[in-house]
């Protein structure tokens, strides 16, 4: 029973069906067969003694995966690729002699890994644009809503809720461009032979270099790629794994930062992730509304960021044309990195689709700090009315110190404005102060920056990929 065996939480709890199916054994071994069919077709087209009948037999059994036969053979041979060649041959007696002709194990293994990562990055691309779109709508809605800015998690000058969301979008866009670069420039290992020299294929084609080069190109085109890497050892450079998993790590870093921000703001009761009517925040404290979705994202991000060390170690310790100490590691680190980033983005879409903003709480926090931030404007207005700048500056400093003590030691509210209004030397009335104290006087160009950023940076991406938008995510748990 499965209950007595370890179940991967990435699959059981977190990632999507499409990503788990992409990296399934079924899809992996089916892709191996697609590669063998494409290789045989290309070899036939270039004149080798392979018949259409053999090709048809292979195609007929493409989906007929006799995995149990392959497992039995692998126990005897201790070789996964040979076990599947033999298992496929059991179903294709006419074609078994030409399956994997001239190829090495990396032909199916490496090319399949590249194909799966390519398809995985396209799944990620779809989810990333939906996440960006959610945050775009959020930024537009709250572009004019003043909020305290924070530096060092200490109150700083005001910004807007929408402008802060644009900071999150900016990082996601940087990741998105890197993702598109990797998608557009990824190649196959191609048909390269045992040490990458194509010697076996040169023998098959009786020394015809042009046909060997054409074989490589035809195979790539049949598998949907523009071409292959010009030079490989037995494997493609493991640096490619590092580049791709580093990209996934970068997206995870961005999501960790975003969700940390949301968690801080939820602690301040300013912004809250979705919380369902029947959801329980704590088994002991019924009143709690924990940011569990953002915490889950942060947790998975930590795993993925640390996982990016694996391909760095693998690449740096490869020997000459290849060494097999990459195999067991890559079987785990590559699929699980894709499963993890898929889960992170799925949860992220769910969170950003239902963020709740508590504007009255935000304004309350602004009012607690705004008197300090408004002092320079108040000082300038008082000087215009005939006051002495140096004397008034000292008064404001003195009142500010007094108010700070009252807030911290006595728990009083910020009464700085009251002290200023009571001091006749400032020559200011309450209506004068009220005009100065409008929070929107302190947000600079934040609303305009939101509009300009979305028009120039965000919309071009969303318009280009608009057919991918509209994704809704319902979490498993």
100 catalytic residue (yes or no): no
**Tokens 């194909």 appear where?**
115
- Scored b (16 or more CB within 10 A) or e, 264-302 reads ebbeeebbbbeeeeeeeeeeeeeeeebbbbbebbbebbe
CA distances for 148 relative to 154, 160, 167, 168, 389, angstroms: 9, 8, 15, 17, 28
User: Of these residues, 79, 209, 282, 398, which one is catalytic?
Assistant: 282
Q: How far apart are CA 15 and CA 475, in angstroms?
A: 9
Which residue, among 60, 106, 101, has the nearest Cα to 80 in the 3D structure?
Answer: 106
249 catalytic residue (yes or no): no
Instruction: Read off φ and ψ for residue 122, nearest 5 degrees.
Output: -70, -35
User: Of these residues, 79, 100, 125, 152, which one is catalytic?
Assistant: 152
Q: How far apart are CA 34 and CA 102, in angstroms?
A: 16
Supply 17's token pair.
């069906």
CA distances for 65 relative to 30, 72, 76, 359, 464, angstroms: 7, 14, 19, 58, 39
* Residue numbers annotated as active site: 152, 282
């Amino acid at each position: 029973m499965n209950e007595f065996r370890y179940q991967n939480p990435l699959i059981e709890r977190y990632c999507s069906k499409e990503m788990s199916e992409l990296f399934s054994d079924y899809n992996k071994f089916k892709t191996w067969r697609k590669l063998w069919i494409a290789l045989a077709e290309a070899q036939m087209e270039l004149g080798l003694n392979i018949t259409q009948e053999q090709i048809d037999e292979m195609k007929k059994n493409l989906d007929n995966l006799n995995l149990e036969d392959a497992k039995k053979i692998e126990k005897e041979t201790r070789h996964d690729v040979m076990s599947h060649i033999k298992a496929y041959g059991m179903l294709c007696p006419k074609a078994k002699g030409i399956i994997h002709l001239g190829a090495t194990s990396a032909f199916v293994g490496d090319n399949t890994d590249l194909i799966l990562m390519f398809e995985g990055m396209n799944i990620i691309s779809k989810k990333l644009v939906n996440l960006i779109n959610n945050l775009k709508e959020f930024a537009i809605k709250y572009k004019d809503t003043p909020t305290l800015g924070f530096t060092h998690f200490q109150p700083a000058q005001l910004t807007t809720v929408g402008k802060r969301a644009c900071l999150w979008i900016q990082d996601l866009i940087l990741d998105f461009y890197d993702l598109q670069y990797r998608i557009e420039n990824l190649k196959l290992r191609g048909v390269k032979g045992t040490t990458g020299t194509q010697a076996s294929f040169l023998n098959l084609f009786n020394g015809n270099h042009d046909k060997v080069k054409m074989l490589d190109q035809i195979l790539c085109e049949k598998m949907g790629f523009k071409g292959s890497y010009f030079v490989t050892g037995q494997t493609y450079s493991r640096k490619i794994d590092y580049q791709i998993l580093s990209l996934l790590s970068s997206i995870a870093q961005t999501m960790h930062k975003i969700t940390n921000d949301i968690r801080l703001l939820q602690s301040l009761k300013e912004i809250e992730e979705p919380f369902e009517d029947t959801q329980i925040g704590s088994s002991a404290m019924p009143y709690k509304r924990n940011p569990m979705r953002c915490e889950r994202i942060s947790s998975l991000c930590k795993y993925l960021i640390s996982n990016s060390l694996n391909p760095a170690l693998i690449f740096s310790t490869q020997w000459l044309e290849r060494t097999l100490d990459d195999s067991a590691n890559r079987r785990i680190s590559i699929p699980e990195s894709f499963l993890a980033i898929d889960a992170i983005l799925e949860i992220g879409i769910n969170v950003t689709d239902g963020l709740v903003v508590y504007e009255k709480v935000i304004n309350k926090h602004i009012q607690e700090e705004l008197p300090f931030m408004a002092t320079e404007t108040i000082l300038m207005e008082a000087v215009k009315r005939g006051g002495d700048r140096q004397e008034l500056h000292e008064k404001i400093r003195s009142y500010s110190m007094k108010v700070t003590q009252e807030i911290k030691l006595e728990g009083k509210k910020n009464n700085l404005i009251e002290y200023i209004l009571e001091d006749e030397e400032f020559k200011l009335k309450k209506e004068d102060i009220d005009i100065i104290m409008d929070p929107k006087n302190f947000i600079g160009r934040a609303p305009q920056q939101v509009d300009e950023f979305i028009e120039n940076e965000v919309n071009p991406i969303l318009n280009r990929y608009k057919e991918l938008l509209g994704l809704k995510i319902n979490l498993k748990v």
